[in-house]
A and B are shown apart, each in its own frame.
Chain A
Amino acid sequence: MCNSIFQVDVIIPTQTKYLDLIGSIGEHIAKDLDNFSGDREALAYHLNLVLTEATTNAIKHANNDPRDTVRITIHIQDNELNIKVYDHGQGFDLETVPLPDFDQPKEGGMGIFFIRTLMDSVTYTKQCDCNVLEIIKYL
Protein backbone atom coordinates (compact mmCIF):
# COMPACT_ATOMS: atom_id res chain seq x y z
CA MET A 1 0.00 0.00 0.00
CA CYS A 2 1.37 3.41 -0.94
CA ASN A 3 1.20 5.78 2.01
CA SER A 4 1.16 9.00 0.01
CA ILE A 5 -2.65 9.24 0.08
CA PHE A 6 -5.07 6.53 1.09
CA GLN A 7 -8.74 6.86 1.96
CA VAL A 8 -11.54 4.52 2.98
CA ASP A 9 -15.10 5.79 3.39
CA VAL A 10 -17.70 3.37 4.77
CA ILE A 11 -21.33 3.86 5.80
CA ILE A 12 -22.99 1.17 7.91
CA PRO A 13 -26.39 0.73 9.56
CA THR A 14 -26.33 1.32 13.33
CA GLN A 15 -25.96 -2.40 14.07
CA THR A 16 -23.19 -4.04 16.07
CA LYS A 17 -22.89 -6.92 13.61
CA TYR A 18 -20.80 -4.59 11.43
CA LEU A 19 -18.15 -4.00 14.11
CA ASP A 20 -16.10 -6.96 12.90
CA LEU A 21 -16.05 -5.52 9.37
CA ILE A 22 -14.96 -2.06 10.52
CA GLY A 23 -12.31 -3.41 12.91
CA SER A 24 -10.98 -5.71 10.21
CA ILE A 25 -10.47 -2.79 7.82
CA GLY A 26 -8.19 -1.15 10.40
CA GLU A 27 -6.30 -4.39 10.92
CA HIS A 28 -5.74 -4.86 7.19
CA ILE A 29 -4.56 -1.27 6.75
CA ALA A 30 -1.95 -1.71 9.51
CA LYS A 31 -0.69 -4.94 8.00
CA ASP A 32 -0.35 -3.41 4.52
CA LEU A 33 1.29 -0.09 5.46
CA ASP A 34 4.52 0.74 3.67
CA ASN A 35 7.44 2.27 5.51
CA PHE A 36 6.14 1.46 8.98
CA SER A 37 8.94 0.40 11.27
CA GLY A 38 6.95 -0.06 14.50
CA ASP A 39 5.19 -3.14 15.85
CA ARG A 40 2.81 -3.92 13.01
CA GLU A 41 0.84 -6.58 14.90
CA ALA A 42 0.28 -4.19 17.81
CA LEU A 43 -0.81 -1.41 15.45
CA ALA A 44 -3.21 -3.83 13.73
CA TYR A 45 -4.81 -4.72 17.07
CA HIS A 46 -4.93 -1.09 18.17
CA LEU A 47 -6.60 0.11 14.97
CA ASN A 48 -9.07 -2.77 15.16
CA LEU A 49 -9.82 -1.83 18.78
CA VAL A 50 -10.08 1.92 18.25
CA LEU A 51 -12.36 1.55 15.23
CA THR A 52 -14.49 -0.98 17.12
CA GLU A 53 -14.79 1.26 20.19
CA ALA A 54 -15.48 4.43 18.20
CA THR A 55 -18.11 2.71 16.04
CA THR A 56 -19.75 1.10 19.08
CA ASN A 57 -19.89 4.53 20.66
CA ALA A 58 -21.52 6.02 17.56
CA ILE A 59 -24.07 3.18 17.43
CA LYS A 60 -24.89 3.69 21.12
CA HIS A 61 -25.34 7.41 20.63
CA ALA A 62 -27.35 7.06 17.44
CA ASN A 63 -30.92 8.31 17.23
CA ASN A 64 -33.71 5.74 17.36
CA ASP A 65 -34.42 5.76 13.64
CA PRO A 66 -33.66 2.25 12.28
CA ARG A 67 -32.53 3.89 9.03
CA ASP A 68 -29.81 5.80 10.91
CA THR A 69 -26.25 5.17 9.79
CA VAL A 70 -22.69 5.61 11.02
CA ARG A 71 -20.06 6.87 8.60
CA ILE A 72 -16.42 5.99 9.13
CA THR A 73 -13.55 7.47 7.16
CA ILE A 74 -9.91 6.49 7.37
CA HIS A 75 -7.42 8.76 5.69
CA ILE A 76 -3.65 8.37 5.56
CA GLN A 77 -1.41 11.12 4.29
CA ASP A 78 2.17 12.03 5.16
CA ASN A 79 2.39 9.45 7.96
CA GLU A 80 -0.74 10.77 9.65
CA LEU A 81 -3.57 8.31 10.02
CA ASN A 82 -6.86 10.10 10.53
CA ILE A 83 -10.08 8.34 11.54
CA LYS A 84 -13.43 10.14 11.61
CA VAL A 85 -16.60 8.54 12.92
CA TYR A 86 -19.82 10.45 12.27
CA ASP A 87 -22.98 9.89 14.33
CA HIS A 88 -26.40 11.54 14.26
CA GLY A 89 -27.22 11.27 17.96
CA GLN A 90 -27.40 13.77 20.80
CA GLY A 91 -23.64 13.73 21.24
CA PHE A 92 -21.66 13.86 24.47
CA ASP A 93 -18.92 15.91 26.07
CA LEU A 94 -15.64 14.09 25.53
CA GLU A 95 -13.88 16.25 28.10
CA THR A 96 -16.14 15.04 30.91
CA VAL A 97 -15.52 11.33 30.24
CA PRO A 98 -13.52 10.27 33.31
CA LEU A 99 -10.54 7.97 33.41
CA PRO A 100 -11.40 4.45 34.59
CA ASP A 101 -10.94 3.87 38.31
CA PHE A 102 -8.25 1.18 38.22
CA ASP A 103 -8.63 0.38 41.92
CA GLN A 104 -12.37 -0.12 41.70
CA PRO A 105 -12.91 -1.13 38.08
CA LYS A 106 -16.34 -0.80 36.54
CA GLU A 107 -17.83 -2.55 33.56
CA GLY A 108 -18.17 0.54 31.38
CA GLY A 109 -16.12 3.56 30.47
CA MET A 110 -13.03 1.86 29.06
CA GLY A 111 -13.71 2.52 25.37
CA ILE A 112 -12.73 6.20 25.32
CA PHE A 113 -9.78 5.34 27.58
CA PHE A 114 -8.49 2.88 24.96
CA ILE A 115 -8.85 5.43 22.18
CA ARG A 116 -7.10 8.16 24.16
CA THR A 117 -4.33 5.87 25.33
CA LEU A 118 -3.53 4.20 22.02
CA MET A 119 -3.90 7.16 19.67
CA ASP A 120 -2.23 10.58 19.56
CA SER A 121 -5.21 12.95 19.38
CA VAL A 122 -8.97 12.60 19.97
CA THR A 123 -11.64 15.29 19.53
CA TYR A 124 -15.44 15.18 19.40
CA THR A 125 -17.20 18.06 17.71
CA LYS A 126 -20.72 18.92 16.71
CA GLN A 127 -21.25 19.78 13.06
CA CYS A 128 -24.44 21.01 11.41
CA ASP A 129 -26.23 17.66 11.13
CA CYS A 130 -23.93 15.22 12.93
CA ASN A 131 -21.17 14.75 15.50
CA VAL A 132 -17.65 13.76 14.54
CA LEU A 133 -15.19 11.80 16.64
CA GLU A 134 -11.80 12.52 15.07
CA ILE A 135 -8.84 10.35 15.98
CA ILE A 136 -5.28 10.90 14.80
CA LYS A 137 -2.36 8.49 14.98
CA TYR A 138 1.10 9.48 13.78
CA LEU A 139 2.74 6.53 12.07
Chain B
Amino acid sequence: MKLNLEKINGCNVIFIQEERIDAHNSGELKEYILHMIEQGDVNIIVQLESVRFIDSSGLGALLSGYKNAAAKSGKLALACCKQQVLSMFELTRLNRVFEIYTDLNEAFENEA
Protein backbone atom coordinates (compact mmCIF):
# COMPACT_ATOMS: atom_id res chain seq x y z
CA MET B 1 0.00 0.00 0.00
CA LYS B 2 1.59 3.25 -1.13
CA LEU B 3 0.63 6.18 1.08
CA ASN B 4 2.06 9.33 2.63
CA LEU B 5 1.35 10.66 6.08
CA GLU B 6 1.46 14.40 6.75
CA LYS B 7 0.52 16.38 9.82
CA ILE B 8 -1.43 19.42 8.61
CA ASN B 9 -3.31 21.85 10.88
CA GLY B 10 -3.04 19.37 13.74
CA CYS B 11 -4.62 16.56 11.71
CA ASN B 12 -2.93 13.38 10.58
CA VAL B 13 -3.64 13.23 6.86
CA ILE B 14 -3.09 9.93 5.08
CA PHE B 15 -2.70 10.48 1.33
CA ILE B 16 -3.50 7.16 -0.34
CA GLN B 17 -1.22 6.80 -3.36
CA GLU B 18 -3.01 3.87 -4.97
CA GLU B 19 -5.70 3.78 -7.64
CA ARG B 20 -7.19 0.64 -6.14
CA ILE B 21 -7.99 -0.48 -2.61
CA ASP B 22 -8.94 -4.14 -2.64
CA ALA B 23 -8.25 -7.34 -0.71
CA HIS B 24 -4.64 -7.24 -1.90
CA ASN B 25 -3.72 -4.05 -0.03
CA SER B 26 -6.61 -3.26 2.36
CA GLY B 27 -5.14 -5.39 5.15
CA GLU B 28 -2.00 -3.25 5.07
CA LEU B 29 -4.06 -0.05 5.21
CA LYS B 30 -6.07 -1.38 8.15
CA GLU B 31 -2.91 -2.29 10.06
CA TYR B 32 -1.30 1.08 9.28
CA ILE B 33 -4.29 3.02 10.63
CA LEU B 34 -4.54 0.75 13.67
CA HIS B 35 -0.86 1.31 14.43
CA MET B 36 -1.34 5.10 14.20
CA ILE B 37 -4.23 4.95 16.63
CA GLU B 38 -2.25 2.77 19.04
CA GLN B 39 0.49 5.41 18.91
CA GLY B 40 -2.05 8.04 19.98
CA ASP B 41 -2.73 9.63 16.59
CA VAL B 42 -6.51 9.33 16.83
CA ASN B 43 -7.62 12.22 14.61
CA ILE B 44 -7.15 11.10 11.05
CA ILE B 45 -8.23 12.31 7.64
CA VAL B 46 -7.88 9.86 4.76
CA GLN B 47 -7.40 11.67 1.45
CA LEU B 48 -8.74 9.45 -1.34
CA GLU B 49 -8.15 11.63 -4.40
CA SER B 50 -5.97 9.04 -6.17
CA VAL B 51 -8.35 6.18 -5.47
CA ARG B 52 -10.61 5.29 -8.38
CA PHE B 53 -11.70 1.88 -7.09
CA ILE B 54 -12.56 0.54 -3.65
CA ASP B 55 -14.07 -2.83 -2.79
CA SER B 56 -15.76 -4.19 0.34
CA SER B 57 -12.43 -4.98 2.04
CA GLY B 58 -11.30 -1.37 1.49
CA LEU B 59 -14.51 -0.05 3.01
CA GLY B 60 -13.97 -2.51 5.87
CA ALA B 61 -10.42 -1.23 6.50
CA LEU B 62 -11.67 2.36 6.73
CA LEU B 63 -14.58 1.32 8.95
CA SER B 64 -12.15 -0.48 11.24
CA GLY B 65 -10.11 2.73 11.48
CA TYR B 66 -13.24 4.75 12.19
CA LYS B 67 -14.33 2.44 15.00
CA ASN B 68 -10.88 2.21 16.57
CA ALA B 69 -10.41 5.99 16.45
CA ALA B 70 -13.86 6.54 17.97
CA ALA B 71 -13.07 4.03 20.74
CA LYS B 72 -10.18 6.33 21.75
CA SER B 73 -12.31 9.49 21.46
CA GLY B 74 -10.81 10.32 18.09
CA LYS B 75 -12.21 10.50 14.60
CA LEU B 76 -11.42 9.20 11.16
CA ALA B 77 -12.86 11.30 8.33
CA LEU B 78 -12.54 11.06 4.55
CA ALA B 79 -11.79 13.68 1.91
CA CYS B 80 -11.65 14.03 -1.88
CA CYS B 81 -13.63 10.92 -2.88
CA LYS B 82 -14.20 10.39 -6.57
CA GLN B 83 -17.88 9.99 -7.48
CA GLN B 84 -17.75 6.24 -8.06
CA VAL B 85 -15.87 5.67 -4.81
CA LEU B 86 -18.43 7.82 -3.03
CA SER B 87 -21.21 5.72 -4.55
CA MET B 88 -19.82 2.66 -2.71
CA PHE B 89 -20.21 4.51 0.61
CA GLU B 90 -23.75 5.45 -0.41
CA LEU B 91 -24.68 1.90 -1.43
CA THR B 92 -23.58 0.56 1.96
CA ARG B 93 -24.98 3.61 3.82
CA LEU B 94 -21.47 4.19 5.18
CA ASN B 95 -21.86 7.82 4.10
CA ARG B 96 -24.03 8.10 7.23
CA VAL B 97 -21.12 6.88 9.36
CA PHE B 98 -18.16 8.80 7.95
CA GLU B 99 -17.79 12.53 7.59
CA ILE B 100 -16.90 12.82 3.90
CA TYR B 101 -15.45 16.18 2.87
CA THR B 102 -15.17 17.54 -0.64
CA ASP B 103 -11.61 18.72 -0.09
CA LEU B 104 -9.00 19.04 2.64
CA ASN B 105 -9.84 22.68 3.37
CA GLU B 106 -13.39 21.73 4.22
CA ALA B 107 -12.05 18.86 6.34
CA PHE B 108 -9.71 21.18 8.27
CA GLU B 109 -12.48 23.74 8.85
CA ASN B 110 -14.55 21.05 10.54
CA GLU B 111 -12.00 18.71 12.05
CA ALA B 112 -8.90 20.72 12.93
Contact = CB atoms under 8 A, between A and B. Distances in A.
Interface of A: 16-17, 19-20, 23, 41-42, 45, 48-49, 52-53, 56, 59, 100, 102, 105-111, 113-114, 117
Interface of B: 20, 22-24, 53, 55-57, 59-61, 63-64, 84, 87-88, 91-94, 96-97
Contacts of A42: 84, 87
B interface SS class: helix
A41 B23 contact: no
Contacts of A41: 84
20 contacts: A16-B23, A19-B24, A20-B24, A23-B20, A23-B53, A41-B84, A45-B53, A49-B88, A52-B22, A52-B23, A53-B56, A56-B22, A56-B57, A102-B92, A105-B94, A105-B97, A106-B63, A108-B56, A108-B60, A113-B92
A106 B64 CA distance: 8
Given A52-B23, A108-B56, A111-B55, 4 more contacts: A16-B24, A19-B23, A56-B55, A108-B60
Nearest to B96: A102
Given A16-B22, A48-B53, A56-B57, A107 B92 contact: no
B19 to A, nearest CB: 9
Contacts of B57: 56, 111
A96 B64 CA distance: 24
A110 B24 contact: no
A42 B88 CA distance: 11
Among B60, B61, B64, max chain A CB count under 10 A is at: B60
A55 B93 CA distance: 24
B92 A100 contact: yes
Contacts of A113: 56, 92
B53 A110 contact: no
